[in-house]
Amino acid sequence: MWNNKEAELYLSTPVLQGNLLFGMTARQKGQFFAIDADTGKTVWQSPGRMGENAAILNLGGKVLVFLTNDAKLIVQPASAKTYSPVVEYTVAASPTWAHPLVLGRRILIKDETSLRSLAIGN
């Protein structure tokens, strides 16, 4: 058993890829993290002020998608040794509190007023 005070969870649910656990802590006004699930040691942390909440998706073990409540869709390689997103999109004009849904090669994103269907890359 282990405890990691740097990675306290508030609203978001973490995801596991291999032995890495990815999540978002409320620390520093929202901070993404990766911790070693075997030891509980922090592997990396993002800068702070990422948002109040984020839905995290593991897309096939290669890519993580973070959707923050302020409509930022962040794509991060699951194998990265640091927080190093490859791209970031603004996907709505209002908050995105609902969890996104992957349907084949599309991702559905719900904000306060609409539902969007976006194509997922190659």
- Write the single-letter amino acid at 18: G
- Give yes or no for a contact between 100 and 65, defined as CB atoms under 8 angstroms apart: yes
Number of H helices, E strands in the chain: 0, 11
CATH number of 5-91: 2.40.128.630
Residue 29 reports pLDDT greater than 70: yes
pLDDT digits 0-9 by tens, 87-122: 999 999 999 999 999 999 999 999 999 999 999 876
Residue 103 confidence (pLDDT): 95
Residue 106 confidence (pLDDT): 96
Domain boundaries, given as residue ranges, for the chain = 5-91
Beta carbons within 10 angstroms of residue 47's beta carbon? 10
pLDDT digits 0-9 by tens, 30-87: 999 999 999 999 999 999 999 999 999 999 999 999 999 999 999 999 999 999 999 9
* 3-state secondary structure at position 14: coil
Kindly report the backbone phi and psi dihedral angles of residue 110, in degrees, each rounded to the nearest multiple of 5, phi listed first: -110, 125
- Long-range Cβ pairs for the range 27-31 (8 Å, 24+): 30/54, 30/68
Q: Distance between CA atoms of 115 and 85, rounded to whole angstroms?
A: 25
- Give yes or no for a contact between 107 and 118, defined as CB atoms under 8 angstroms apart: yes
Residue identified by tokens 């390689």 is 77
